[in-house]
């Protein structure tokens, strides 16, 4: 399979603007893969505006401190490899293809289960590929940009040590809802102790009751 065929095969899946409202599929895949999302500390970045640039800055700061980093972002502009970066550089075509060859049989196993009635989505698969590539590298820290799913976002399959929340727009608040905000009391996808949360913008007072645990507001 050449690179263009690989990309076509991946993007033919349920598109990322259609949210599969469940972590069941990506959780099942992670378990089959030996839980690569647990291989490295995770910094999860959510929000409406500025989360991509925030991920790039965090990634650069960690690398300046001598750490090897993995960064996951979305969407891509011209090449799907832009979504998965290691040490500040997009994953190579060869590494992406190798990662897909390793996980494809397990993706098919999850597809066959038809969890919640659908195959794994494109976003779920590419997120799983990122976690697998980061574990294989390996990296010292993974910076994960949340997509559209809020509490159902595939990146939340990991137990993030730090949750960063960039400015939130009304559309994001409507799509995520209070349940997602309440879930920030815990590590994403986990019932363990809450992570450090960094807010890059003040939030409406009416949402304050949804949030408990260690938090820090960082003025822009």
Per-residue model confidence as pLDDT tens digits over 111-169: 999 999 999 999 999 999 999 999 999 999 999 999 876 678 899 999 999 988 887 66
The answer for residues whose C-beta is within 8 angstroms of residue 53's C-beta and 6 or more apart is none
Taking CA 147 as the corner, what is the angle to CA 79 and CA 82, rounded to the nearest 5 degrees? 20
Is the pLDDT higher at 72 or at 48?
72
Distance, first Cα to last Cα, the chain: 46
What is the model's pLDDT at position 172? 55
Distance CA 39, CA 132 (A): 9
pLDDT for residue 179 is more than 70: no
The answer for residues whose C-beta is within 8 angstroms of residue 138's C-beta and 6 or more apart is 39, 40, 68
Long-range contacts, stretch 71-76, CB < 8 angstroms, 24+ apart: 71/142, 71/143, 71/144, 71/145, 72/127, 72/130, 72/142, 72/143, 72/144, 72/145, 72/155, 73/145, 74/16, 74/123, 74/126, 74/145, 74/147, 75/16
Answer for the pair 41, 161: CB distance below 8 angstroms, yes or no: yes
């Amino acid at each position: 399979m050449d690179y263009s065929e690989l990309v076509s095969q991946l993007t033919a899946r349920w598109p990322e603007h259609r949210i599969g409202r469940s972590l069941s599929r990506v959780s099942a895949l992670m378990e089959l893969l030996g839980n690569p999302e647990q291989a490295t500390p995770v910094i999860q970045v959510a929000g409406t505006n500025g989360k991509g640039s925030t991920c790039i800055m965090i990634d650069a700061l960690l690398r300046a401190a001598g750490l090897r980093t993995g960064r996951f972002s979305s969407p891509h502009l011209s090449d799907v490899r832009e979504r998965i970066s290691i040490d500040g550089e997009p994953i190579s075509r060869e590494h992406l293809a190798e990662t897909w060859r390793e996980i494809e049989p397990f993706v098919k196993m999850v597809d066959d289960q038809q969890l919640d009635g659908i195959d794994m989505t494109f976003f779920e698969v590419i997120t799983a590929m990122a976690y697998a590539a980061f574990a294989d590298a390996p990296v010292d820290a993974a910076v994960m940009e949340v997509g559209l799913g809020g509490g159902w976002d595939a990146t939340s399959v990991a137990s993030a040590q730090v949750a960063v929340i960039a400015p939130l727009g009304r559309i994001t608040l409507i799509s995520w809802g209070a349940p997602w905000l309440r879930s920030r009391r815990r590590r994403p996808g986990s019932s363990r102790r809450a992570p450090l949360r960094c807010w890059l913008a003040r939030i409406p007072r009416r949402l304050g009751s949804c949030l408990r645990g260690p938090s820090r507001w960082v003025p822009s």
